[in-house]
Amino acid sequence: MRDMTETTPVELLVCTTCRRGLPVEDDAQRPGTLLHKALEQAALPEGITLKAVECLSNCDEGCSIVLRGGPDRWTFVYEHLSETDHVETIIEGATKYLQTEDGLVKWRERPEHFRKNCAARIPPIGALK
Amino acid sequence: MRDMTETTPVELLVCTTCRRGLPVEDDAQRPGTLLHKALEQAALPEGITLKAVECLSNCDEGCSIVLRGGPDRWTFVYEHLSETDHVETIIEGATKYLQTEDGLVKWRERPEHFRKNCAARIPPIGALK
């Protein structure tokens, strides 16, 4: 395991406008906002910055997050997340992602929810010829 | 409409390993590879570079592409694309994307397939506080 302080910082983006298909009227109670709040209150490791995004445009498969971190890492989008069930999963997956240089956590080491609910991965800038 | 030569270059990434749910044995005939070939043979405007990616990890909803272009544009992932039906759609959408500074083509100006088949959008680096 790498020393986390050696790696480029990571951003954890949370779609705060997500309704997760629910007829929510109160913006402050949207599932995406609640997921963001739950992660704010959780203990994210140093090197991971939580950020709110208004709509990641994955509305039918929410709640959604993005993990990215500098020009050398793959970016990942994960979906079907909830504020009640997946806070620890997200922290575990984000922590392992932080510990990589290229963003590619070994398949069997990824949280099961991440393995089964990846919406997309995008290569690092400069990785392609 | 902006002069395309003023804008940051755009990358059009195509997932070449996509099987689009088909039991394809021949790698050279995978739908993703065929989509990439069809776009190679099409007339992409100057400023858009086509690149192949091995797996964008959106396997259940392929074929998939990514549009990105510099630190100021949103990145978009589109899905449910085929080499027979969507080459012109992709060129139209990519051309409009190229003409923007921030990657945000007005909703009603996006190709209908793009409006209905966006897998995710990711904000530009530095856009978030």
A87: domain CATH number is 3.40.30.10
Q: Is the pLDDT of residue B21 over 90?
A: no
Q: Is A67 exposed, middle or buried (0-12, 13-18, 19+ CB in 10 A)?
A: buried
* Residue range(s) defining the domain that contains residue A33: 4-127
Which run of H or of E encompasses A98? helix A87-98
Tokens 């083509």 locate to B105
Q: Where are the alpha helices (DSSP H) in B6-101?
A: 31-41, 87-98
Closest CA to B114 of B80, B74, B63, B72: B80
Per-residue confidence (pLDDT) for residue B27, from 0 to 100: 87
Summarised one tens digit per residue, pLDDT across range A50-92 is 999 999 999 999 999 999 999 999 999 999 999 999 999 999 9
Tell me how crowded residue B117 is: count the other CB atoms within 10 A of its CB. Answer: 17
- The model's confidence at residue B5, banded by pLDDT at 50, 70 and 90, is low
Which positions in chain B touch A121 (Cβ < 8 Å)?
55-57
Closest CA to A7 of A64, A59, A61, A67: A67
Residue A110 in contact with partner chain B when CB distance is under 8 A: no
Percent of residues, chain A, with pLDDT higher than 90: 83
Per-residue confidence (pLDDT) for residue A18, from 0 to 100: 95
Q: How many whole angstroms separate alpha carbon A15 and alpha carbon B63?
A: 24
Q: Is the pLDDT of residue B35 over 60?
A: yes
What does pLDDT average to over chain B? Answer: 93
pTM equals: 0.93
Domain count, chain A: 1
Per-residue confidence (pLDDT) for residue A5, from 0 to 100: 54
Q: Is the pLDDT of residue B4 over 70?
A: no
What is the radius of gyration, based on Cα positions, of chain A? 14
Summarised one tens digit per residue, pLDDT across range A89-112 is 999 999 999 999 999 999 999 999
Q: Which value does ipTM take for this structure?
A: 0.92
What does pLDDT average to over chain A? Answer: 93
Burial string for A77-87 (b: 16+ CB within 10 Å, else e) reads: bbbbbebeebb
Q: Is the pLDDT of residue A124 over 80?
A: yes
Q: Is the pLDDT of residue A3 over 70?
A: no
Q: Is the pLDDT of residue A36 over 90?
A: yes
Q: Find residues 23-62 of chain B whose CB sits inside 8 Å of chain A.
A: 51-53, 55-58
Residue of B nearest to A56 (CA): B121
Query: CA of B93: how far to CAs of A4, B59, B77, B86, in Å?
Result: 40, 22, 12, 10
Q: Is the pLDDT of residue B3 over 90?
A: no
Which positions in chain A touch B51 (Cβ < 8 Å)?
128-129
Per-residue confidence (pLDDT) for residue B127, from 0 to 100: 73
